[in-house]
A = this chain, B = another copy of it.
């Protein structure tokens, strides 16, 4: 039986980064990464294979960086893990023994079995599979009326991209009052609705899909809770992702109450020498410390960098107390980003907060070509002024600006500190130094703290 020091199950971003990071530190040890498909995809790049990229191959992502540092790759599916004897079995019949095992099994789209007609032909998903997406792209070619269920990031991005096909009608259905409502507060989410509509998508919010109707086993429309019927020859379900934890569960490894693989701060599962990282592993909310379900390549790779370094002994302390959700997207030329707590999530978690908001142009003077309006909102703990969340809306610069807020949250920066925050500004690149919006929002949050003095503090 072949034996490896480290076996990684899964070839997504978290699996690859765990492997690369760890193998570089321990070149003397043997590493095997097992993945199901030869070719892999950049998961978040999938919406852009329809227009911006010339073909799906431009969106490939593979374990090359891992192979380059000496890791081995096996294309196969792990069918069983024996945690006690430290042996895995694959579908092709291989038995491989390991010293350390890492679950990086990722997630798959939630199949909405609660919707009648979910199993009709023409009901599709955004699966992180090269073969599936390659085929889906061909099926999209011939579709005329597409209904997308679920206006989270994937649903919004796919709808916006598909609506660029002038010969297709795209409808997007969301049960919440607004698009992207898990990541943005009311005013930002309203703006998201607006830009989605401007992109040519027929948007239905606060409505559920009651039924996918079919004919001869093929989807031909959906019926909404309002009674509205929408024709559809393709229905794309983007109602969430489910962590792939069956293998771990069958191996007797503990799961969290959310169904993810339970791990500690160093991604150790309940079984000795077995780890879990990325979408399949438990996350702990940064602000609340509660078990959470964040499935993002960015947080997964952050975890993987910690795990990769600490697989054999804890060498690099994990510096942040939990997983921070940081999101960004661009819809019809408008960029939305958020980090940490938003107003709804703060209220739901019973976290006291005030808000500071500021608006301005992302160039100075604002008449410079290419200038976009920028809106910044900070969510702040009123007692000590710590920044616990933020949202930004504007042009391309928002994509990196949100990471200033991310760092601020992770380092417990307060709005009082932001007053003397020294920034770089330039006419062609940023807001004016006199009104740098993160600082303005911090100033406004301080005013809010003062106004609500008696009430909140």
Contact = CB atoms under 8 A, between A and B. Distances in A.
Contacts of A317: 416
Nearest to A450: B25
A115 interface: no
Contact of A406 (B306, B365, B423): B423
Given A407-B408, A420-B305, A424-B339, A45 B364 contact: yes
Contact of A429 (B320, B396, B436): B396
Interface residue range, chain A: 35 or more
A298 interface: yes
A422 B365 contact: no
Interface in A55-97: 58-61, 65
Contacts of A13: 432-434
Given A419-B306, A429-B335, A298 B424 contact: yes
Nearest to A402: B424
Contact of A302 (B21, B297, B423): B423
Contacts of A154: none
A324 B422 CA distance: 7
Interface stretch (A46-54, A125-133, A227-235, A247-255): A46-54
Interface string A391-407: 00000111111111011
A425 B316 contact: no
B326 A422 contact: yes
Contacts of A436: 298, 301
Contacts of A193: none
Contacts of A107: none
Contacts of A419: 305-306, 309, 316, 319
Contacts of A368: 45, 48, 52-53
A44 interface: yes
Contacts of A407: 404, 407-408, 411, 413, 421
A27 interface: no
A451 B46 CA distance: 39
A425 B297 contact: yes
A302 B417 CA distance: 11
A402 to B, nearest CB: 5
Interface string A338-362: 0100000000000000000000000
B306 A428 contact: no
A58 B365 contact: yes
A282 B406 CA distance: 32
A44 B329 CA distance: 31
B428 A326 contact: no
A26 to B, nearest CB: 13
B319 A427 contact: no
A422 B320 contact: yes
Given A42-B364, A368-B48, A422 B408 contact: no
Contact of A365 (B42, B316, B404): B42
A410 interface: yes
A247 B256 CA distance: 69
Contacts of A59: 365, 367
A107 to B, nearest CB: 15
A430 interface: yes
A159 to B, nearest CB: 15
Nearest to A419: B305
B429 A399 contact: yes
A420 B298 contact: no
A386 to B, nearest CB: 13
B439 A305 contact: yes
A421 B318 CA distance: 9
A171 interface: no
Which 10 pairs across A and B sit closest by C-beta, in order of nearness? A399-B429, A326-B424, A298-B433, A58-B367, A400-B400, A297-B433, A328-B426, A319-B417, A324-B422, A400-B401
